[in-house]
Structures are given as C-alpha cells and as structure tokens.
Amino acid sequence: MSEAAFSESEIREVLSELARVSTTHLKKIFYSAPANQSWDEIEERLAKGELLKDICNLKDDYMEDRYKDAKEKLETSDFDGARDLFSNLCLFDQTQPKYWGGLGKSCEGLKQYREAIESYKMLTLVTNGAEPLPYLCLGFCHLMNNDKKSALEVLEEGLDVCDPYEQDQRPVLEQFENLIAICKK
C-alpha cells in the first residue's frame, strides 16, 4: 500500500483555489445566499475554507435529496441533467467524493472525457489518493482521449493503491491489468 498522496494542507489549498477560480459564477449563485450577508462577507468565509452549502445554510437533507435527483438522472442516462446537478453539488460542497464521481460519470456519458478527467482528478484528491477506482476511471478516460501514456501512468499509480490480498478488490485489479495491457499495445 502506498502512502497518502496529498496532505491536508494541499487539499485545503486546492479547495480554496476552486472557490477563487469560480468567483464570477459564484456571485450569480449567491443571490440565494442569506440576505444579511454581503458578497465581501461571503468571499471572506470562502477564503477561510467554509463550504458554500454552509454559507447558504443548505442542510444535509437538502443536499442528499439533490444527490438522489442527480443519481437518478445518471441512472436513466440523462447525462446533461446529471452533469448540471452534480456540478452544483460539487460547487456547494467540494469535499464529497460521491459528487465528484457522479460528475465524472456524467461527463463520461456525454463523451466529455477531458471534463471527466478533471472530475476524477478531484475525486482522487478528495479521497487523498487512497481509493483505486478513481485511477481506473482516469485511465479509461485518457484512453478514450487516445492518450496511452497518461493512461498508463495513472493506471500504474492506481495499481499501487490496490490491495492484492483483499478478495473484493480482485475484479478491480483485473480491470487495471486489462487496461494496462491495452496501453502497452
């Protein structure tokens, strides 16, 4: 098993950067924020690492209901609708792996592999590089973009995360081996 790929401070730094990068988009969304807060106050809270869902007083039940809606759209192949919902979920709470995974799968369904790669990179970051499945998804998307070199790199990195002695990971290991073989052709 490999060591954790990212430190807590690195994760916080990336999440803070996400909040900064999408400032224009966030301003539009903040019309739903509590009226007693100015944009400056909201921006300050984001800079301190608070989640947008907390700033907007969105309860966990509300977020879970939106997640169920997004997941249903994904399961019924409404990839555009799922992507939109998962995108918003990721914006409001960047710490949830299931949101990033859903966004990645939605983008994959739309054959938007570059966008899926970015989502899976975030999923890898949020899981601190400790889960093999995001690496498998990354490898697949790189292959779909005809980038065997990048695919091979992430697949080999993900293979290191797998535990060959865990019986339930055996199918995942086989998928890694199959994709690695494709990369080496």
Torsion from C-alpha of 177, 139, 155, 120, nearest 10 degrees:
-130
How high is the mean pLDDT of the chain?
84
C-alpha Rg value of the chain to the nearest Å: 18
pTM: 0.80
CATH number at residue 106: 1.25.40.10
- 120 and 152 fall within a common domain: no
- 86 and 135 fall within a common domain: no
- Count of the separate structural domains present in the chain: 2
- 173 and 98 fall within a common domain: no
Whether 87 has a pLDDT exceeding 70, the answer reads yes
Q: What is the pLDDT of residues 8-29, one digit of tens each?
A: 565 555 555 554 444 455 555 5
Domain final residue, candidates 128, 159, 174: 128
Segment 164-174 shows an average pLDDT of 87
First to last CA, the chain: 27
What's the rounded Cα separation, in Å, for the pair 103 and 150?
21
Domain enclosing residue 13, as ranges: 1-128
Please report the pLDDT score of residue 36 as a whole number. Answer: 62
- 13 and 72 fall within a common domain: yes
Amino acid in the structure at residue 58 = L
When comparing pLDDT for 3 and 45, which is higher?
A: 45
Q: What is the pLDDT of residues 30-66, one digit of tens each?
A: 555 555 667 788 788 888 888 988 888 888 999 999 9
